[in-house]
Structure 1
Amino acid sequence: MREGAQAEQLQALSDQARVELAQVPARFEDAFIDLLGGGPGGTSTLAERLPPVELGSDIAVSCRNLTKRFGEFTATDNVSFEVQKGEIFGLLGPNGAGKSTTFKMLCGLLKPTAGEAHVVGHDLRRATGAAKSRLGYMAQKFSLYGLLSVQQNLEFSAGVYGLEGNTRRERIAEMIETFDLGDWLSATPDSLPLGHKQRLALACSLMHRPPVLFLDEPTSGVDPITRREFWTHINGLARKGVTIMVTTHFMDEAEYCDRVAMLSRAQLIALDTPDALKRSAVSPERPDPTMEDAFIHLVESADRELEAAT
């Protein structure tokens, strides 16, 4: 925790069972946010409204030997992992490593060439519809309908997930308030500032209160305050038992995850906690590696092993 953090944020963090507080140097981003009046507090109003998630199993998402080929090109190659209920699970990798392809298969948007995947106990090969009803998906692009207004996008999302009557009205009002969309209801998504556009996309993906949430680079291109706001909600949802899978290019965001899977050249090359991944990159020249150091080390090591084997 950086110096000067507000007391209520420290208290909110100290109440989290899995968090240990340690003072760290302030970053340029911290100073930027402070100059703008400070970011969000440590509590998610969205998560506060949610009841705890109940699942029949401790495993929310699993895949085994998941493979996707497009002709001769292999986008995902024999990827296997399990994600625990309430876990924030990150997927990292270079561009073209297979992150989004893996996401789309786990969301039922792409049919695997081989392997199997389960979401909340539903086999995506046989019960795609049942699985989709239990998950939320925020795509990196094209997750909103540009010809519809903000209000209509919210109404459409509520209808797709079968919300009706008072429940429908209450959920839409809840999302408008939580994500500060009230002044933009008649606007189209394309006219929104990027931060509000991403807020709308997240609101639509959470409308039906899914126990599993897939976020494909949710903070790409947004300002630091909005990015911090998103992670406040993500952490709050996880504490209520929502399982969250997220892809990101921001190495500091990867450190917010409970575990991180790294993909390179369509294959899973590492899976562990952020601290363990950083320890794997320790060397005499690099005694205290960052997450970025670990990422580069693991990708380059995997590339060398692949080249040596061919």
Structure 2
Amino acid sequence: MQVSVCLIVRNEEQNLPRALASIPASFETVVVDTGSTDRTIQIAEEAGAILGHYRWNDDFAAARNYCASLATGDYLLAMDADEELPADTAEKVNAFVERQPHSAGAVILENVIGEERPRHRMVRFYPNDLAWTFHGNVHEQIYYKGEPASFENTALVLRHYGYDEDEYARTGKAERYIPLYERRLASHPNDAYMLYQYGKLLYSLNRLPEAERYLRRSFDLQEYNRLYFPVMAVMLGYVLKEQGRSLEAEQLLTALEPFYPDFPDLYFLLGLLAMDTGRITAIQHYYTQALNIGETDKYTSVQGVGSYKAAYNLGVFYEITGNTQMSVRCYTMAADYGYGPARNRLK
């Protein structure tokens, strides 16, 4: 079995060496350049990659599909230049193909954002067959025979550096993506995933009323079974909370408990909202539920909400309500993860 790693790049001389160095030697590497003016092309050539050129037309899916057309492997792994593969990539890929032959696979993207390492899943691995193609000019998704592809989860974890503040500012991603979102939504106004992505970008820019509008439109389309939906709903909850509307957020999210009983981020946020609204007994319930679920790779999740962050907040609850024994137990649990605020509480 041959695997081809496919990258589309432009002016990535700072990131590309790290990405290429992480690709297993047994894998084929395909790099398609969309108009670099730095050393990107030279770096790809020196690494021995198959090199292609694509005239940029504001369409990531079209560029990805062109890159795939140059690959000769049985399976394709789409990768970005600001990502890095782990040392066990070949092992994880082979295990997935043995378990789920001819299937698309969702990898885990671990985002490096300061001290945080939030994770989310994206479908990046798929058979090299014309029935499998990317769709969408921005935040492109894998389709099978013209419909969103079904997939299985892989154990492969890619480290993503693109959300690092310095990297985000250097590449100007926010400014580049806004017109792409607007163009897509002008022709596909009910694209719930794109509405979510635009709302997510606006939230990152602290444009809360606008973010709420797009996230709400995405939420109202009720695509409960799509990979993005639970994290979009939680994001909408944070947007409402940050605008002083915690009760509204709580009412919105409690209705989702039957759909996502194993999503720690949902219960962690419900704990925060219960603190805001003064529902004392609910605080304990929600943080305990988050701890019982634990950390997850099934959903896009913020590190700590199923472990040390939930334990710390539960410790604060017990401390405020006078249960010193339980507060110390929770702070100790959080401190064992190296969580500084918990260590400070124990001093």
TM-score between both structures, scaled by the size of structure 1: 0.32
Q: Whose helix fraction is larger, Structure 1's or Structure 2's?
A: 2
User: Between Structure 1 and Structure 2, whose CA radius of gyration is higher?
Assistant: 2
TM-score between both structures, scaled by the size of structure 2: 0.29
Q: Which has the higher contact order (CA 8 A, sep 6+)?
A: 1
